[in-house]
Amino acid sequence: MAGPTRGFLGRRRERDPRLPPGQYDVGSDWPVLTAEPTPRIAPETWSITVDGRVERPTTWSWDEAHRLPPSEYRGAIHCVTTWSKFDTRFTGVSVDTFLEAARPTPEARFVVATSKTGYTTNLPLADVTGGKAWVVWEFDGRPLPVEHGGPVRLLVPHLYFWKSAKWVTRLTLLTRDQPGFWEENGYHERGDPWREQRYRGD
Amino acid sequence: MAALHGAGARAPSGGWRTATVVGVEHPVPGGVLLRLDVTDRIDHLPGQHYVVRLTAEDGYTAQRSYSAASAPDDPLVELFVERLEDGEVSGYLAEVVEPGDVLEVRGPIGGWFVWDGASPALLVGGGTGVVPLVAMLRTARATGRTDLLRVAVAARTRAGLPYAGELADAGALLALSREAHGIRPAGRLSADELLPLWEPGQTGYVCGSPAFAEALGTVLVERLAFAPSDVRIERFGPSG
């Protein structure tokens, strides 16, 4: 890292220990950053499919997904554009629940999440299992707004938020990693905010 | 639905570099234009952005992303920075930076909101969102392919629109919501105004505030019949 920038003081720094390096607290805002037009998806036409390297490829409708055991995430989310948001509350179903039904085969190591828009993002399977990832439809007790991925998005809060694919409709398990949309376009393969894995090569 | 793909691996990508500030201008109120001499620069594609990282004496850092306005053939990288209220980085860049200062920059970055220089495109920008579109226009001028681009930009007033003169000279539609412009009365950029700019095979590029990008992205899809996968959107977050 280079030396100090002449004359730069920065904000007051009572730094919240929940804030990863290079991030700032956006407070009550929730910025919208999306690369494609916002799709309008009626809940009754939405479904989620788990396929690829699984024993039982399975599709759940909106009603079927809502009958699965609910699961909640409370905590922070971190966007690669440097904002973090604390004390969020998302409700949906743990990705573990979908995978238990679909049964990943032993060689499954990675997952690609696909959105209604064609947006994709790739993750190691280990990053979406063990209570670390959700398929969510509520934010703070209300339906997830469409600009934030409603009716349903993926939530992988321990990684930068581009991994939490909006408008998710498919999780495909793979034996080999396959870069998704931003991963193909200059961003990091994994995106751990605590290691500042923002861009390719970090 | 087919997967979305950008320029992907073809998009140039650079690591951290030292940039010497060569020029500082304040062309519009609340904005600063920086001309940077970047060491070991990797040429960007029009539409790509740079990250600027500032470091305080105690090692604290803050970084933000800014689109380049310059064409790849410009010997300098030009960034336009909107000074945001309470903006930690933009405030510093707008008020403290002088020629001769050295900044840390990283780029170019991004492979989606880029123009390939060879395909027809409809460029729609709001306010500071015109910056990456200016890079596309300058690239087209440098290569003699301005015929490929149709441009519409929106702002409250002409005086508040960065690159207003350059955009007007390039034949862009200037839609000003608070004042008349030529024979155009004050008003928001409308779908009817965009329709004549449509041509077959265009990719749509929409850049601006989240509200602007949302509204105009919807117009391109619903009124101009763009396939959603042919519309590339860049939303500016409140990332001071």
Return the residue in B20, B113, B219, B239 with the most chain A beta carbons within 10 A, the one to mutate for interface testing: B239
- Match domain B121-235 to its CATH number in 3.20.20.140, 1.10.3720.10, 3.40.50.150, 3.40.50.80: 3.40.50.80
- Is the pLDDT score of B239 beyond 80? no
- Show the domain range for A95: 47-190
Mean pLDDT of A139-150: 95
Annotate chain B with DSSP letters as a single string: -PPP--SGGGS----EEEEEEEEEE--STTEEEEEEEETTPPPPPTT-EEEEEEE-TTS-EEEEEEEB-S-TTSSSEEEEEE--TT-HHHHHHHHT--TT-EEEEEEEE-SSS---SSS-EEEEEEGGGGHHHHHHHHHHHHHT-GGGEEEEEEES-STTSTTHHHHHHTT-EEEESSS-BTTBPS----HHHHGGG--TTPEEEEEE-HHHHHHHHHHHHHTS---GGGEEEEEPP---
ipTM exceeding 0.85, yes/no: no
Q: In sequence order, what DSSP letters do the residues of B97-138 get, joined into one string?
A: --TT-EEEEEEEE-SSS---SSS-EEEEEEGGGGHHHHHHHH
Q: Quote the mean pLDDT of chain B.
A: 93
**Rounded average pLDDT over B98-108:** 96
Asked if the structure places residue A104 within a domain, the reply is: yes
> How many angstroms separate the CA atoms of B19 and A34, rounded?
29
Q: What angle do CA B14, A164, B240 make, to 5 degrees?
A: 55
Residue B235 with chain A: CB contacts under 8 Å: 31-34
pLDDT value, residue B86: 83
Strand partners, B231: B204
B224 touches A: beta carbon within 8 Å:
no
pTM for the model: 0.89
Residue A9 located in a structural domain: no
Q: Does B205 touch chain A (CB under 8 A)?
A: no
Q: What are the residue ranges spanned by the domains of chain B?
A: 11-109, 121-235
| Residue linked to tokens 């828009």 | A117
> Is the model's pLDDT at B164 over the cut of 60?
yes
Contact list in A for residue B88 (CB cut-off 8 A) is: 10-11, 24
Residue-level pLDDT at A14: 72
Q: Please tell me the total count of domains within chain A.
A: 1
Rounded to 10 degrees, the C-alpha dihedral A146/A149/A153/A157 comes to -130
Q: Does A26 fall in a domain? A: no
More confident residue, A38 or A135: A135
Q: Output the domain CATH number for residue A149.
A: 3.90.420.10
Residue A126, in any domain of the structure? yes
* pLDDT(B238) > 70: no
Report yes or no: B65 at the A interface, CB cutoff 8 Å: yes
Residue A119 has pLDDT above 60, yes or no: yes
Question: CB distance from B106 to chain A under 8 Å?
Answer: yes
Taking only the tens place, the pLDDT of each residue in A53-73 is 999 999 999 999 999 999 999
Q: Report the residue of A13, A15, A36 to disrupt the B interface, i.e. the one with the largest count of B CBs within 10 Å.
A: A36
Domain B11-109 has CATH 2.40.30.10: yes
Please give the pLDDT value at position B127.
95
Q: Who wins on pLDDT, B61 or B19?
A: B19
pLDDT tens profile A174-189? 999 999 999 998 899 9
A5 domain-assigned: no
B3: nearest CB among A7, A10, A118 = A118
Token pair in block for residue B84: 């945001």
Chain B residues with beta carbon closer than 8 angstroms to that of A38: 214, 217-218
